[in-house]
Amino acid sequence: MFMHNALSQRAAALALITLMSAATATQAHAQDQRHQHGASAVEVSLDGNMLLVAWESPLSDLIGFEHAPRTASEKSQAAQLLATLQSPSALLTPNPEAQCRVTKVTTQAPSLMHTEHAHGAHDAHSDLDYAVSYNCAQPKALAQLRVNAFQTWPAIKAIEASLVGPGGQAVQTLRSQSATIDMRGIVATR
C-alpha cells in the first residue's frame, strides 16, 4: 500500500518537473546545482506495467559545455544531442523478455533549448533531465536494464541508480565495465 502511494507521488513529481517552466528550471540549476562532472544519476521505478526512468546528467559530460550554445559548432552539438535523445536506447535498454515499449520521452535541457537568453553567470552548471516511460507487457520478466550511456557518452564515468518497485528498493553504482542495472530484487517474484 505504502509502496504504491510512494510510486504515485513519484509519478506526480515527475509530471510536475515536466510542467516546470524552462525559466524556473534554469534558475534552479544556476543557483542550486552542485553537480559533479562525470557523475550521473538515474531513478528507476516500476509500478504495475509502467517502468519509469528519470536520468540527470551534467551537460558537460554529454556535449563538453554547459552554457547556451553560441558558435555554429556548439549549436550543432546541442542539436545532435537532442536528436540522439529521441532514442531512449542511447541511455539504456530493458531486457527484451519484459516486452517494454516506450510510451513517453521528456527532455529538459534549458540552457540548450533557449539559446536566445543570456544566463548571466557564464560559469553556471547546467544539467540534462531526461525521463522515459515504458509500458512493459511482462514486467515480471524484467531482469536487467543494460546501460548504453557509457558508450554513447564516454565522459560519463559513473551512474548512481536508485531503484524502487513492488519487490523492494536498491541503490546500484554503475561503471562502464559493470553497466547493467539488476532489476531482479525490484520486481515482485510471485
Is 102 within 8 Å of 60 (Cβ atoms)?
Answer: no
With CB under 5 A as the contact rule, the residue among 7, 62, 88, 125 that binds Zn ion is 125
CB of 22 to Zn ion, least distance (A): 18
Is 131 within 8 Å of 20 (Cβ atoms)?
Answer: no
With CB under 5 A as the contact rule, the residue among 42, 51, 56, 58 that binds Zn ion is 58
Q: Is position 29 an interface residue for Zn ion (rule: CB under 5 A)? A: no
Q: Which stretch binds Zn ion (CB under 5 A): 94-102, 105-113, 123-131, 178-186?
A: 123-131
Grid cell, residue 103, equals 510510451
DSSP secondary structure, 26-83, as one string: HHHHHHH----TTEEEEEEEEETTEEEEEEEEETHHHHS--SPP-SHHHHHHHHHHHH
Q: Which stretch binds Zn ion (CB under 5 A): 4-12, 52-60, 96-104, 161-169?
A: 52-60
Residues that bind Zn ion (CB under 5 A): 58, 66, 125
